[in-house]
Structures are given as C-alpha cells and as structure tokens.
Structure 1
Amino acid sequence: MITLFGRERETARLEGLVDGVHERGDALVVRGVPGIGKSALLAVAVARAEARGVTVAGASGVQSETHLPFAGLHQVLRPMLGAADQLPARQREALLGAFGMAEVSDPEPFLVALAVLNLLGDAAARRPLLIVVDDVQWLDRPTTEVLAFVARRVRSDPIVLLMGLRDGYPTGLDGSDVPELELTGLDPAAAEALLDAQAAELSVGIRWRVLSEAAGNPLALVELPLALEAGTVTAEAGILPLTARLEQAFAVRLADLPPPARALLLVAAANDGHDLADTLAGGAMVTGAEVSADALAPAVDAGLVELQEQALRFRHPLVRSAIYQRAGRTDRLAAHAALARVHGRDPDRRAWHRAAAIAHRDESVAAELEEVAARARQRGAIPVAVTALRRAAEVSEEPAAGAHRVLAAAELAFELGRGDQAAELLALAEPSVAGELPRARVVLLSEELGEGRNDGPAGIRRLITTAEAVAAAGDRELALNLVRTAAIRSWWSDPGWEQRSRVIALAERLAAGDDDPELLITLATAGAVERGADVIERLTKARDARLDGAMTRLLGVAASTVGAFDLVGDFLDPSIADLRAQGRLGLLTRALSTQVWRQIFCGDWAGALLVAEEAARLAGETGQRRRQASALAMRALLAGLRGDEARGLELAAEGERVLGTVAISSVAALFQHARGVIALCAGRHDDAFGHLWRLYEPGDAAHHATWRQWVISELAEAAVGAGRQETARRAVAELERVAALTPSPLLHLGLRHARAVLSDDEALYDVALRADLAAWPTARARLLLAHGMWLRRRRRIQEARVPLRAARDTFDVLGLLAWGEKARQELRAAGEASDLRVPPAAELLTSQELHIARLAAAGLSNRQIGQQLYLSHRTVSTHLYRAFPKLGITSRAQLRDALEGA
C-alpha cells in the first residue's frame, strides 16, 4: 500500500474508495490548509486507480480562472466530450452551449448538470471512473455547482469523485451533504520522521524551530529548513501566518533568478491557464525580446515550476501567489496588458486581462466586461455574469452607468438565490441610481430581498405607487412584476381590501385579457375571497385550453390559492412535466410545493410523501430556504398522519431551523398546521387546539387570513376534545361570512365538517355527507369517522359501526395510519374487532424507489425516469433492482399490479 508520512488512515480511506468503485460510487471532499498534504493524498488515489485499471479524469482550479465559465468542468469532461452526441437533445445542447460550442439561449444550469451526470455515467459503465478535482476553491462557481450536483448522485454508479478544498474559502459545496475528510497536522512522531528524511543534518535549534513553526504541516517541514538555513526567513517572519511564511520562503528564491525567468514566471502567475506558448508570448511582450523555454531552466532548478510538454505548472499554488504578490504593481499591470494581447482572439480572457491591466476607469473596458456578462448568462454561468458586471461597474467612467451595472448584478444574484450578495450589491448601487425606471427596479429588488420583513400596508402601498408610475412610463413587464410582488405580499399579510383592490385594479389594466394567467394569479393572491368566484369560473373554463407550461403553472397556483385544489392537478401536472424537461428546478420546486397540498387535501397521500421529499431536496439544492421550510412542514404533517409523532416534530423543528429568522406568516401557519395535526392524531387535543388557534389570532406570527379557512375542520375536532367548542364556533361564524363571498371548495368542505362536529344535530352530518366528495376521499373518511364517533357516544352502537368501518377501510387504503387506528379504537369500543392493517408491498419501498417504480409502471424507460428525477439512468436501474424483490416481482410488466393503490 502506498502511504504518506503520518497519513496511513487517510491513505487507506481513499484507497478503499477506489477499490470499492466497482460496487458503488462515492464522493468525498478532502479539506485542509495550504501545504497540509491534500494534493499528495489525492495523488495516492490516482496511483491506486491507475494500478486497478480505473479510468482517471480530473481538473485543478487556478485562481486566475475563477471568472471563466465552466473552465474547470471542461477540463474534467474533455476526454469524454466525443460521447456528447449520445445525450438527449436538450441535455446535449445545454452542455455544448455551456462550453460555447453551440448557440443556446439561457441553458438551465441543472440541465447542464444532468448532462454531465449522464455523460460520466455512460463513461463509467464502460470502465469505473475516478474524478479528482483539486483546489476546488479556485474553480469557477458554475463548475463547482455542477460538481456538487453530481456528488450527491453517484452512489449507484461506478464513479468516485474526490475534491480537494482549501480551508477558508466559500464554495458551492458548502452546506451540501457530501462527506468530508478534514486533514490536520501530522502527529509529532510523523512530523519528526518527515523532517529527518528531508533534512537530517539540521542543528538542534533550527530543528526545534521548524517543528514548532510547521505544526505538523508537511510542506512547511520540507520548505522551512531550506529557508532558515539560508537566512531568507527572518525571526520576524515567525509572527506571520504559516501560509505567509511559506509564500516568503518561495518568493525569496526569485531574487537569484535572471530577469527573463522572473518576467516569465510573473506572466505565468497572471495567466489563466498552463499553456507554455501563452507564457512565452506574454514574456516577449513584457521584456521586449524573444524568449524561449530555456529561460525557465533556473526556475525549474529552483523547484518553483515544472515543464510538462507544452504546459508550465507551478510546484504548489503558494508559489504562484508568492510570485504574483511579490511583483510590483507596475509589473503586474504590464503582465496583464501583455496577456490581453496574447488572448486577443478570446474576448472573455482579453476583457478580464484588460480589466486587470488598468489603474484607472475605462468605459471601453467596462463595456467589454458587460459583454462578458451577457455571454456568461447565455451559457448559464450566472455567477460569472454577476462578477463581470460588478467589475464593469468598478471601471465605469460614469457613476450612473456603474450603478446600472451593479443593479443588474444584484438582480442576477437574487435570481441565483444569493440574497446576501444581492443585498450587498443593491446597497452599492442605490445611492447612484437615477431615473424613474431604475429606481423602480431598486424598489422591486428591495422588496424581494426583504421577504421576511413585514412592512404591512406601507410596503404594499409603496409597491403599488411605484407600479402605477412604471405603467405610465410604458414598462409593462416591470409594472407587472411590481404588481405581482404586491399581490404576494397581500397573501402573506392582509393590508386590507382598499390596498388589495388597488393591486387588482392595476393588474386588470395591465392584463392581456380576462384569462391572462398573470391576472388570475394576482386576483387569487390579492382577492382570494372577494374575487374567488371569478377565479374559479375562469379556471374551470381554462381546463381544456391549450396553454404552455409557464401559464399552466400560474393557473395551478391560482387554483390552490382560492382553495380549488380539485382543479390544481389539471394545470400543474403538464406544467411539472415541462419544467422537468427544461431543467428549471427553481420553478419546479415551487410547482411541486403546490402539488403536495393538492395531494394532501385530495387524498393522494402516497404521492404527497414522494413529492414533499423531492420538493424539500430540490429546494435545498436551489437555495430556496422558504420553499425548503414549507416542504419540511408538509413532511411533518404527513408523518403525523401516519402516526409517527416523533418524526413529525423532528421535521417541523428542522424546517423552522431552515427558515431561521425570516418572518412570513404563511410559512409560520404551515408549521402550526403541521404541529396541530400531529398533536390531534396523537390525541393531545389541548395542544392541537393551541397550535391551530394561532392561525385565527390577529397579531400572531402565524395568523393567516386564507390558511385558517383550510384548517377549520381540524380546529373543530381539536376544540371538541379540548372543551373549547364556543371558541371554535366563533371562528366558524367568522368564516361563514367569508364563505358567503367565495365558493372556495375547501372552505365550504371544512365548514360543513366543523358545523357537524360542533353541533348535536345529526342532520348536519347528513348534509355534509351528501355533498359531492368524490374528489375529497380523506374529507369523506374523516366525516364518516366523526359521525361514527357521534353515534357511538349516543349508544347507537349498531348504526355507528357502519360509518366507522367505511372510515377505517378508506384510511387503510390511503395509508393514514393514525386515523385508521382511531377508527379501529372506536370500533373496538363499539364491540367490533378489526384485523390489523396489512401494509401493501409498496410501503416497503423507500420514497425514491417508489417514485421510480411508479414512473416505470407508467411505461417510462430508465433514461426517461432519470431525466424526470435528475438521476443517472444507472441509478434508476439500481433502485428498480432493489425494488423488485420487495414487491415480490421479477419484471417491469408486473409493476402496475404490484403498485395498485400506492
């Protein structure tokens, strides 16, 4: 076994990953400070892979390349790009567009990531694959995000992904669930052994000092003895951080090099790549004379660089930074100016080097950087576009032009889900923003960034006033965005009908027609009660219309907002399919969140479990904390309904941690709804009433004018158990007035249930059960349970058994274990025993297995399923392989029958 000094355990772990790649994939981040040995450890894994016949691919981040879109990803995939033709068309176009090899308009980053996953999976199917990516902290952000996506999905492929990362640098891997190996200093015995192997003749004093200052850092144990013996690291250097002392140790070697070598090293350090020809061309421009690779011989002899065919590589990243930092400012500017000319045919590289070569403002450079941002955005590399726009602003000659560029960067950062960065950029832009429309963009972004800030009617009034001015100025799209934001704020916190009616009036003026989905979503969110009848009528007419996915998503959200969950699926199902195909995971997450509530209220509990888990996972990956928190609240409620109180409370607490200090009443209402249902299913009626009543209490953080309509049945049941019927009747009376204004199906359903539960009049149960409940099986089963309980308490035992049996059987089919057990308890009290529920085989599957099995039963191929769920087709195959024995089947043809009812 190949080992490093003091790294036997870490070496064994990496070699174990490589040896196990034939059975399963894995991903690992190797993290440490500079010089700690992570690159050497990764090299051990490479050697092991090559000895085992494993294909090796990889890349290494370079600090000067962080602004080049997908540069690191191109390094990794270069040997495999020939197989891109085998990818599905959308994925192939997105990937080639990201590399600038095809003309594509705004490729979705997650479609690029899925293409990479499939390309790697196909390569690994031929021969196991080790991917080693070092210095991840210096990769371009789009590459890092793709690697994070892939790392979460390689478990079922013969792929091991190892990523080396320097401590102290934020990357797209932060907060991911990719396991890490943290490298610390060598223990004293290993440090002494390494030092003695490198410098056995040190005096006792210097040996002690090296061991003390190196603190187990392998690079320091090798380099500090040379610097101390030569006197190039002074005693004062001991107070510097170790990284700075090592840089100094490398930099002092420059003094002994001839001027041509020093010039070439500076050009190489400033360059964004390893190409030797670029370094020689730039060096010739800096020195004013032709230079050859021979001029680098002294630097090679000094151990600063290595020449490999046509590439120049620094021995360690600290060598590069030491050379660059030690150079004078004038020399650095000259190096970048030379490189701008060297890269004259590459507009992106040229622009970045021009920007680094000036010490003054230059509008022509700013314009070039703005073009860089436009190209980056077109390739799906929005983080690069943000950086380019910010740098363009810094070199802009006119303050207004600079503010415009910073504002554009802030809007893109917000689009990425990076609220902190967007807020910082907005603060830079705001003082210099001039003009009505730019000021309106500031107002809009400020409101979007402050989604947890409750400005109440004042904030909504500001949005409406701004929207009216923008509409008068002729920018309909911006005005619509402002109106939509005002409507959403009205949904979160009711500012009163006067303000909401202004939102609606402006939306109607701007709408393309009465059936404009943008208008319907505004009517639904700003006037869910007052305009609910209009929305439901228009949605019913639109069910058979041919609309694109974007429009149907809006209509689905509108239906959910007015409580017409029986209509939601007609719109959301085709929209979700389109969003999956387009790789628009941000919007897909929102659509899935709405779909979960449709499934919950309409009785598809197995589907709700799957979709809620997917929504939570995708929300985390796309940085949508509010959506992630909402999805966790849904999962908490579902766990409670299945009788798992502990898991439900755990998920609720996790969701509240994810949300943090953001105060949005609609999300707070979800958590109280979930906690209320968990307590109700556990028989803790006082607790359940306390949680649910918060939705009705004005001034409470969880008070929500619309969501309270949807939990009235649960509140009534909790009130009966807690002896709080009079309080619940007041809530019912208040909602009766609301119900007179809107035909919201869910509201009227809940009120019929609540009236019956809170009354001694059996006729109210008859009224509730005679309603059309075909689309609401859970509501019907709960009514049957409540009616059976009412009959049993009045000693009408024989009559009670009929609805209780029907409720039990429905709950069993739906998988609602807590309510099913309640029905069994009531039947036992009525003198009738029930068989234990026999769970269907489908409940033995994990959520991922069940999701895949459902799609396979619908006739989708493994590749099609992979495209839907953002998994490799090999992962899909692995999940099906595990699912078949659990279901007791041997072929796909048997899936439909095995999953019946799941």
Structure 2
Amino acid sequence: MCAGRGRALLIRGEAGVGKSALLRQLARRSAGCRVARVAGVESEMELPFAGLHQLCAPMLDVRDRLPAPQREALAVAFGHAAGSTPDRFLVGVAVLSLLAAVSEDRPLLCLVDDAQWLDRTSAQTLAFVARRLLAERVGVVFAIRESAAGADWRGLPDLRLGGLPDDEARALLDAAVPGRLDEQVRDRIVAETRGNPLALLELPRGLTAAELAGGFGRPDARPLATTIERTFARRMRSLPAPAQQVLLTAAAEPLGDALLLRRATRLLGLPAGAGAPAEAAGLIELGSRVRFRHPLVRTAVYRAASPAERRDVHRALALATDPVADPDRRAWHRASAADEPDEEIAAELAGSAERAQRRGGIAAAAEFLRRATELTPDPAARAVRALAAAEAEMRCGAFETALKLLLTADEGAAGELHGATVALMRARIAFASGHDMAAPRLLLDAARRLEPLDAELARDTYRDAMGAAVLTAGFAEDSGVGEVARAIRAAPRPARQRPGDALLDSLAVARTDGYLAAAPLILDALRPFRDEHPAGADEQGWLWLAAITAADCWDDETWSAATARHVRVARTHGDLSSLPLTLNSLVCAEVLAGEPAVAASLVAEIQAIGDATGQALAPYGALTVAAWRGDEAIARPLIEASIADLVARGEAAGIMVLHWTQAVLFNGLARYQEAITAAQAAAAHPIHSAIVSWSLSELVEAAVRGGQRETAERAYDRLATSAQAGGTDWALGTLARAGALLATGGRADALHHEAIERFGRTRIRVELARSHLLYGEWLRRENRRRAARAQLRPAYDMLTAAGADAFADRARHELAAAGEPVAERAARVSDALTVQEAHIARLAGRGLTNAEIGAQLFLSPHTVEWHLRKVFTKLGITSRRQLRPAAG
C-alpha cells in the first residue's frame, strides 16, 4: 500500500474468533497511514449508504478533487443534495476516486468490521471499490462472519481465521479463570469452543465454581455464537434494571452517538450514571462515542429484550432523533416502536422509501415500503404500498419476496388499474427471474387488462410480450408470437402517438401477414429513430426494438444510429441493466463496419460492467470478435460455456447467435462442412431476423464450397425473400454475392461487380472486403490471374485492417496462387496490449481525461494512469497524442 499499490483483504471467521482484535492491531501498526473505520450494525442494515457515509464523511473535505458527476452522485447518495437517482456504480467510482484523492496526501487504511451487517448498498459499493484497488495507496480490510461471506464478496483475497491451537487455548483459559479449574472441564471447554478466544474468555463467567471445579453442568449443544450471546445476556441480567435499559437503548441506537443516547435515556426517566454498572462490568464504553465490548454484546442485549422493552427504547430514540436532520432513522425507530397499524408512521416510511430511491438505495426503499405495508391500516392503501414494495424488491432481484408482497397487493380493493399492474408485475418477475417460458403469455394477459385503463402502458407491455415471445420461439412449442401480434393489431391506439407505436404496429403486421408484406411499413416506421433528440430512460425499450428491427430489415444506417443512441442514453442514465445487451449489439455493428479496435474496446467495457455488476450475460460481443478474427481457441470455449446456460434459460435467439458466429468462424477457416452444420442450425429459427438472414448468406457460401449445391440453392431462395423485401444496398449486395457463387460466366461476373458496388455504399465494410475476396477467388479459378490479383489485394488489405484474420489469410493464400506472394501478416503493434490497455489507449486517444476514462471503466484515475504508462512502454511512445495511430 505504501509502495503505491492498493490491496484488499477479507478476513473471515466465526463470531469471537478475533477478527475485531486483528483490525485493532492493524490500526495500531499503521504508523504513517490515515486510518478510517466503520462497523456494520444489525439494526441499521436497511438504511441506504449508512455504512458508506460513516466511512466517507470525514473525507469529504477533498471531494472538490472529484469530477462533477461523481461529486453530485455522492451528494445525492449521502442526502446532502437533491437530484436524480445516482447509479450505484457511479457512486462506487466516486468512492474509489474519493479514497484515491485522500491517499494522495498519505496512505489510507480502511477497516470495515462486521461487514455482514452493513446495509447492502454500502457492502456492494465497498466490495466494488476493493476489487479495483490497483495503483492507489489504499488498503481496505473487511472482517466478516464466515457464514455471511457470500456472492457480494466474491473475488476478494481472503484470510480465514480459526481458533487457537489447544495448548494456547488452555493457557488463555487458565489465565481467564481465577479459581480452580478441573482439567477435564478445561479440556471440554477447549474442545467445545474450538479455540475461539472470546468464548474462552467469556463462557467461564457463566459457570459456577462447582461447574468449573467438577464439571457438573449440563451439556449445551447450541451454536457457539448463540452460547456466547447467552453468556453476555446472563451478565446483563445481573445488572440493575436502569443499567440494563441503558444497554438496550444503546443496542437499538446504531450510531454510537453519546448525546443521542443521553437524550433517549432522559426520556425514559433514567438517572444520570445509570449505565455505570454496565461500564464496570466491561460490557460497554460510554465516552464521547458509545462502544460495546464486542458486537455480540449488542446482539445479545437486543435479542434478550422482550418486544415491549424494545418498543419502549425505540419510541424514546424516535423522540430523541432530529426529524429534520435524520428523518429516515427517526421513521425507522417509530416503526420499530409501533405495535399496531399506524397510517402516520406508514406515511413517514413511504417518504423515507422515496428518499432512499432518489439516493440509489433501492434495497432500503424496498424495506421501508415493506414495513410501511405492514403498518398501513387501510386495505386499499396497503395494497398500493405492497405493489410499490414488490416492484422495489424485483429491482433488487429479490423475486420470491416480491411475489409474496404481490399476494398482499392483491388483497386490497385498489381498483382495476391496480389489479392489472399487479398482473404486469408478476409477468415481469417471470421474465426477469429467468426468461420463464410462461412470461410471453403473462405479459400478453397483462397488456390486454391494461388496454382500457392505460393505453401507453398497455403498448409498452405488448412490446415486452413480443420480445419475450421472440426470445423463446424455437424452444416453446407455441411461443405465442402470432397471438401477441394479433392482439397488438386489435388493441386501441393511445391518444398520444409515439414513434414506437408505428414500429410496433408494423412488426405486428410482419408476424401475422409475413415479413414481405410488412417490410415497407417497417422501414418507414424506422426513419424517426435515425434522428437525434433527447431521450429519457423510459425510451430505451423502444430504441432497442428499433435497433434490432433495423438490423432485421438490412437498414444499416438506422441500426448503427439507434444502437449508438441507445448506448448514450443508457450511459447517461447509468442504466447498467440494459447497457451490456445494447453494447453487444454495437460490437456487432462495429465488427461489420470493419472497426476491430472499437469493437474490442466495447467488449472490454462489457467485461468491466459484468465484473462490476455480476451480470451473467452470454458473451455475444466477445464471441463475434473472436469468430470474425478466426480465433477458434477463444471462440470455442465461449460457445461451450454459453450454450448450456442459454438452453436452461430458454433463449433460442441466443443459441441462434452462437450458431451464426460458428458459421462465420468456420467459413473464415475454410472448414466448410462445419460451417454448413452451424449455418443450418442458425437458419432453422422460425422467426425472421437478421441472424437468420446472415446465416443463410453463410450457408450459401459454405454449401457451394462444400459441394452441396441443392442446399445452397434452397438457402438462396430464402435469402432472396428477405433481401428483396429489405431492398437496401446491404440486402441486395448480400443477395448479389450469393447469386454470384451459384452463377457461372458473365452472369457471375456481373453479380460480383454488383455486390461490390452495393456494399461500397454501406457501412458494412467487412462484407465489402469479403466480396472482393470471393470475386478474386472466382477469377483465379477462371484463370484470370491479373484480374484476380486486382480484387485480392484490396481484399487482403481491408480484411487485415478489419481484424478478420482468417479471411485475410484466405486472401493471402489466393494471392500467392495468383502469382503475387504476400508475407505473413506482421503482428500489429497494438497486439502487445491487453484488451483493457487497448480500450484505455483508445479512449485516451479520443481525448478523454483519466477521470473520464475511469468513470466509464469503473477505475480510479490513478489506475488509468498506471495502465497508460504500461501502454506507452509497450508501444514505444511518449505522449497521448501518439495513441490514436499506435493503438488502432
């Protein structure tokens, strides 16, 4: 850390094993470092950013060093400013930048105790930051109970603490027991505690002298943490009643605020000094901060209290808490003090949920709304809050909890629109929780219920139903695509017509009357999506639909424009749930446009988002890049790793993409029989799509080269239907090239010329290069070697520049056969860079600052600079101005 490299460590172990003591020792031995501490508190787990605020609040004096978006995200997250909900990963990058800024003055050590009790937003953010420590002088050490070290903490280096060896455990036990200790009793305690230091110190205090001397106590098979808690609880009960109440109040107050505790105990009628016996017993410290001897003391005290006792102290804490400075904690205390429904408290919790949601604490919003639901006396209002809570839980990925809340939402008579929205939420959960085969039907039913109630929401739901049906088509016996399309055509139109409505109508025509009849309608409906205008987060569904439809219709201009615009909108709104999928589409567009560096950098961004969010999207972009490069060593494992998951999720469309990439891969490698098999599998999908059309093109080439003319002719006939309906240069250029492969003589010559001419007017540069290659191959076989070389040279240059290395090798071999030997492609200078280094180099070459690059890739500016120094060394350059030509 002090040498300029960040480190993170997760210390795991059972309660009492010494994790907190190890953190204290780390703090004592960190001379020269700034030490920041935070401890999770069980009763505070639902307050958003509570733990993060504890850690960062003393550091906010350097926030002016952060980029403006990051400063604003922290201000909103910590409740210092109003604003739109900050994306939690933007908050993560902001915290990373904040820690890095603090460490510029001196190394920073962050100690996080009881991480299992951090609010989930804070836990996820801190784990996110810890995984990205590289070039910062920052160390982060977490202490967490073994049983809680789950998915949020994956990927962190860890250290498991076990108990003391038997001899050391016996020595500690002997030192802790002042009187006679029977040897057999000692051995039993050592064995039962498994060397746990806290248990060795505390459990003997709960035994009588007779039990210690002779072992006449009853065996206790409870878990060790429970046993230690019971020991602490017994010690608490031996105290005077006022001291017990002070302990309970402190246990219910998570901040360790001595003034707040004092106000609350006065409201409870406790005299000054009431907590002194608890201090004397070594259970708590009542100084400028309130600290328990061990977190298990807090847990033991709180759990040992009766519900009525807990309500009393929470009521006092609510009265003692400033409603202006800390309304959410006050609301939470009031809710904990309530023993029956109370609309005033429920309304306060709903307000807290709204604030939490604005700050990005969706998990906290869900918990506030769930508790508000429980405290709402009116059935209709309770149903409305239950629905809001279910939506929040769904957005957190807590699908089972959301479904339970929907049962409550169904019970209140909240109106027909409410009931229809409940049905919609069930459908969305079915789709989001694993692309359930039932999702298209559920979404369709919900859309029909919404028709007379909210026409726009109904149209959005029909759109989602169509997408779900297309996704499962090929797996489900009846995916319902036709039924969804008929329902869309029969549904009433909303009063406010949006561009997406015309597009949805045209797609419904395509699914009922056929693509040929609908193509002119679809192309006309796509035109508005080429235009740039401000787009909100709620328009992303329509942008996605427009982009994939444009690709289906061979409209390369709209495909590129709508996809790039969708990426910009998703980035602007911090929507990392939709960004990876549309980035994958953009990867494909850039590959076909012959921009391998751009495509590779987008793949790196997708990987960065996946690492940050844990999203397990199939690696479509990485696979597309590998297939066009002809890199089987990368492509094959990606395919094998993805196919089982796609089958399990019922994503036939995804499997079709995998088969198409295989067909491209094997055509590039001139392994035509394998290409035929893959292309046929992709083209078998029952729904017209871009991937089906592209696979038919691959099938014609593979089948002609593989000697299966009838297969090629059938594929050509299907391709002709799609291409002629699209009517674009991309479509007709593809069809002309396929026709040239099947033709002879002058007809073949003319069709090759037409393909090159048409592709030359499109963005699809890699297919233009392939058209030169196929024409050159045909000319050489016609023994027109000079003409062949004139086609093969540009083919080789363009394919090499496009990163289509396998196809470029085909062109090189053909050139040699045509009498123009070409040396094997020299390694690109940029091949020395890792994917992440190449992405950073490209962004820096575009003029982005280190802070801007870091924000996009979830890295600190220091880490970006560290990568750039490596890039400069590998490329032999000295300035950012040289990056664009060198890294391309």
Equivalent residues of 2:730, 2:758 under 8 A apart: no
- State the distance in 2 between where 1:592 and 1:323 align: 51
Equivalent residues of 1:549, 1:575 under 8 A apart: no
Structure 2 unaligned regions, length at least 5: 474-478
Q: Counterpart in 1 of 2:376? A: 396
How far is the alpha carbon of 1:746 from its aligned partner?
5.1
Q: Counterpart in 2 of 1:762? A: 748
Within the alignment, does 1:350 sit opposite 2:330 as a pair?
yes
Q: Counterpart in 1 of 2:657? A: 670
Cα separation, partners in 2 of 1:755 and 1:421, compared to 1, 3 Å? farther
Within the alignment, does 1:650 sit opposite 2:637 as a pair?
yes
Equivalent residues of 1:853, 1:880 under 8 A apart: yes
- State the distance in 1 between where 2:417 and 2:497 align: 25
How far is the alpha carbon of 1:366 from its aligned partner?
2.2
- State the distance in 2 between where 1:525 and 1:112 align: 41
Equivalent of residue 130 in structure 1, options 89, 109, 118: 109
Q: Counterpart in 1 of 2:765? A: 777
Within the alignment, does 1:690 sit opposite 2:677 as a pair?
yes
- State the distance in 2 between where 1:322 and 1:241 align: 14
- State the distance in 2 between where 1:116 and 1:522 align: 46
**1:153-186: CA deviation from partner (whole Å, max 9, x where unpaired):** 2212111121222233376724x43332233334
Cα separation, partners in 2 of 1:223 and 1:758, compared to 1, 3 Å? farther
Q: Counterpart in 2 of 1:737? A: 721
Within the alignment, does 1:848 sit opposite 2:848 as a pair?
no
Within the alignment, does 1:610 sit opposite 2:608 as a pair?
no
Q: Counterpart in 2 of 1:536? A: 523
- State the distance in 2 between where 1:170 and 1:758 align: 61
- State the distance in 1 between where 2:63 and 2:172 align: 46
Q: Counterpart in 1 of 2:258? A: 276
Within the alignment, does 1:23 sit opposite 2:4 as a pair?
yes
How far is the alpha carbon of 1:454 from its aligned partner?
7.5
How far is the alpha carbon of 1:865 from its aligned partner?
2.5
How far is the alpha carbon of 1:453 from its aligned partner?
7.2
Within the alignment, does 1:583 sit opposite 2:569 as a pair?
no
**1:280-332: CA deviation from partner (whole Å, max 9, x where unpaired):** 3333434xx3422x32222223221123x322111111111111122222222
Equivalent AA in structure 1 for residue 370 of structure 2: R
The TM-score with structure 1 as length reference comes to 0.88
Equivalent residues of 2:243, 2:274 under 8 A apart: yes
How far is the alpha carbon of 1:87 from its aligned partner?
3.0
- State the distance in 1 between where 2:447 and 2:583 align: 30
Q: Counterpart in 2 of 1:12? A: none
SS of 2:726's partner is coil
Equivalent residues of 2:430, 2:436 under 8 A apart: no
Equivalent of residue 58 in structure 1, options 22, 33, 37: 37
How far is the alpha carbon of 1:611 from its aligned partner?
0.6
Within the alignment, does 1:865 sit opposite 2:853 as a pair?
yes
**1:22-51: CA deviation from partner (whole Å, max 9, x where unpaired):** 3211222222221122222222322232x2
Equivalent AA in structure 2 for residue 207 of structure 1: R
**1:870-885 alignment runs, 5 A limit:** 870-885=858-873
Q: Counterpart in 2 of 1:241? A: 223
**1:562-621: CA deviation from partner (whole Å, max 9, x where unpaired):** 212333343444554454354333343343232112112222122112112312431453
Q: Counterpart in 2 of 1:46? A: 27
Q: Counterpart in 2 of 1:5? A: none
Q: Counterpart in 2 of 1:303? A: 282
- State the distance in 2 between where 1:394 and 1:27 align: 40
How far is the alpha carbon of 1:737 from its aligned partner?
2.6
- State the distance in 1 between where 2:74 and 2:647 align: 36
Equivalent residues of 2:470, 2:481 under 8 A apart: no
Cα separation, partners in 2 of 1:725 and 1:511, compared to 1, 3 Å? farther
**1:302-381 alignment runs, 5 A limit:** 302-307=281-286, 309-343=287-321, 345=323, 346-381=326-361
Structure 1 unaligned regions, length at least 5: 1-19
- State the distance in 1 between where 2:141 and 2:229 align: 26
Equivalent residues of 1:586, 1:619 under 8 A apart: no
- State the distance in 2 between where 1:593 and 1:587 align: 10
Equivalent AA in structure 1 for residue 333 of structure 2: H
SS of 2:220's partner is helix
Equivalent residues of 2:647, 2:655 under 8 A apart: no
How far is the alpha carbon of 1:552 from its aligned partner?
8.4
Equivalent AA in structure 1 for residue 132 of structure 2: R
**1:682-710: CA deviation from partner (whole Å, max 9, x where unpaired):** 444333333332223357xxx76552123
How far is the alpha carbon of 1:534 from its aligned partner?
3.7
Aligned length: 863
- State the distance in 2 between where 1:285 and 1:768 align: 86
Within the alignment, does 1:500 sit opposite 2:481 as a pair?
no
Equivalent residues of 1:276, 1:311 under 8 A apart: yes
How far is the alpha carbon of 1:382 from its aligned partner?
1.0
The TM-score with structure 2 as length reference comes to 0.89
- State the distance in 1 between where 2:357 and 2:290 align: 31
Equivalent AA in structure 2 for residue 503 of structure 1: I
**1:179-202: CA deviation from partner (whole Å, max 9, x where unpaired):** 322333344455445445545963
How far is the alpha carbon of 1:411 from its aligned partner?
1.4
- State the distance in 1 between where 2:849 and 2:137 align: 21
Equivalent residues of 1:580, 1:867 under 8 A apart: no
**1:72-97: CA deviation from partner (whole Å, max 9, x where unpaired):** 11111111112223433332222112
- State the distance in 2 between where 1:54 and 1:518 align: 60
For the aligned residue pairs, the C-alpha RMSD in angstroms reads 3.1
Cα separation, partners in 2 of 1:193 and 1:713, compared to 1, 3 Å? farther
Equivalent residues of 1:642, 1:817 under 8 A apart: yes
Q: Counterpart in 1 of 2:774? A: 786
Equivalent residues of 1:549, 1:576 under 8 A apart: no
- State the distance in 2 between where 1:575 and 1:698 align: 26
How far is the alpha carbon of 1:376 from its aligned partner?
0.9
Equivalent of residue 445 in structure 1, options 413, 419, 425: 425
Q: Counterpart in 1 of 2:590? A: 599
- State the distance in 2 between where 1:522 and 1:408 align: 31
How far is the alpha carbon of 1:447 from its aligned partner?
2.3
Q: Counterpart in 1 of 2:476? A: none
Q: Which stretch shifts more, 641-650 or 24-33?
A: 641-650
Equivalent AA in structure 1 for residue 727 of structure 2: P
- State the distance in 1 between where 2:175 and 2:732 align: 82
How far is the alpha carbon of 1:368 from its aligned partner?
2.1
Equivalent residues of 2:314, 2:337 under 8 A apart: yes
- State the distance in 1 between where 2:188 and 2:434 align: 55
Equivalent residues of 1:118, 1:873 under 8 A apart: yes
Q: Counterpart in 1 of 2:737? A: 753
How far is the alpha carbon of 1:650 from its aligned partner?
2.0
Q: Counterpart in 2 of 1:717? A: 701
Q: Counterpart in 1 of 2:692? A: 708
Cα separation, partners in 2 of 1:333 and 1:356, compared to 1, 3 Å? same
Equivalent residues of 2:701, 2:712 under 8 A apart: no
Q: Which stretch shifts more, 342-351 or 550-559?
A: 550-559
- State the distance in 2 between where 1:525 and 1:647 align: 39
**1:791-810 alignment runs, 5 A limit:** 791-810=779-798
Equivalent AA in structure 1 for residue 111 of structure 2: V
Equivalent residues of 1:711, 1:750 under 8 A apart: no
- State the distance in 1 between where 2:187 and 2:672 align: 70
- State the distance in 2 between where 1:525 and 1:151 align: 48
Equivalent residues of 1:61, 1:134 under 8 A apart: yes
- State the distance in 1 between where 2:567 and 2:70 align: 18
Cα separation, partners in 2 of 1:271 and 1:472, compared to 1, 3 Å? same
Q: Counterpart in 2 of 1:78? A: 57
Equivalent AA in structure 1 for residue 343 of structure 2: E
